[in-house]
């Protein structure tokens, strides 16, 4: 792989953040994809807030958030995830 197309962000850190804090989008913020991070965070906050107010639509928002997180975790694992600059985050050094 061309060294110029690889991200400087750590693959291990990105995977760990996605696995532990994935539903709040911390991994997106780490790699510089702020809009995805804000999307994840808003789904989490909105889903929890709706559930606290007794609205079951919160379950739908949280389900979408989980699906979104699993999809991007998969892309990370198979080396197809790009950082905010468009560079691949890979485990190959």
Global pTM value: 0.86
The pLDDT tens digits of the residues spanning 63-77 come to 999 999 999 999 999
Overall number of domains in the chain: 1
Does residue 17 or residue 4 have the better pLDDT?
17
Residue 89 within a domain = no
Residue 85 within a domain = no
d(CA 7, CA 82): 8
Range of the domain at 32: 9-77
d(CA 9, CA 54): 40
Residue 87 within a domain = no
Residue 2 has pLDDT above 60, yes or no: no
Q: Output the CA torsion sign for 76, 35, 5, 27.
A: negative
Average pLDDT of the segment spanning 20-28: 93
Residue 44 within a domain = yes
Residue 26 within a domain = yes
d(CA 23, CA 39): 10
């Amino acid at each position: 792989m061309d060294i110029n197309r690889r991200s400087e962000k750590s693959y291990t850190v990105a995977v760990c953040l996605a696995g532990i804090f994935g539903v709040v989008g911390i991994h997106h913020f780490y790699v510089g994809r702020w809009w995805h991070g804000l999307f994840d965070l808003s789904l989490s906050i909105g889903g929890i807030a709706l559930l606290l107010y007794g609205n079951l639509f919160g379950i739908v928002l949280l389900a979408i958030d989980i699906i979104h997180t699993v999809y991007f975790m998969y892309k990370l694992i198979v080396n197809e995830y790009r950082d905010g600059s468009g560079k691949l985050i890979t485990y190959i050094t």
